[in-house]
Amino acid sequence: MDAFMVIADPTRRRIIDTLREGAADVTTLIERLDVSQSLVSKHLGVLRDAGTVRVEVAGKRRVYHLADDPLPAVLAWVTPYHRKWANAFDRLTHLIDSDADSAADDHDNTKDDNRD
């Protein structure tokens, strides 16, 4: 399954978000997400097959971790847009700061004019 199909399902996104905070077993995921065991297991299987999560066997428990590079295709697709938006916000911040500096200078000049 491709990465975009992986994140298309809201339950899988919630599992990914939960595992981003730290490893969890199925019982923990069931409690945190308030969903059935069968649903969590189904989605963990999809996430595991897609390479989004990895599983560690700890005794009778299976502990799930977010993979080191869980969604490379999504990251590759989003990165150019992130750069574009970040650059636009940087320019906007610079413009706002310049306007604020100009307004402060104008205010200081007005105070000086009022003292005369």
- For the cut 80, the answer to whether the pLDDT of residue 105 exceeds it is no
pLDDT score of 33: 97
Residues 76 and 59 in one domain: no
The span from the CA of 25 to the CA of 47, in Å, is 14
Q: What is the CATH number for 37?
A: 1.10.10.10
For the whole model, what pTM was predicted? 0.72
Looking at the structure, tell me whether residues 11 and 24 fall in a common domain: yes
104 and 59 in one domain? Answer: no
In this structure, are residues 28 and 47 in contact, taking their beta carbons and an 8 Å threshold? Answer: no
Instruction: Answer yes or no: do 7 and 62 share one domain.
Output: yes
User: Are residues 61 and 16 both part of a single domain?
Assistant: yes
Same domain, residue pair 11 and 57: yes
Domain count, the chain: 2
Task: Give per-residue pLDDT as tens, 8-58.
Answer: 999 999 999 999 999 999 999 999 999 999 999 999 999 999 999 999 999
Are 82 and 107 contained in the same domain? yes
Which residues lie closer than 8 Å to 39 by C-beta, 6 or more apart? 11
Total Cβ atoms within 10 A of residue 19? 22
Measured between alpha carbons, how far is 3 from 113 in angstroms, rounded to an integer?
63
Range of the domain at 102: 71-116
33-59: b or e for each residue (b if 16 or more CB lie within 10 Å)?
A: beeeeeebeebbebbeebbbbbeeeee
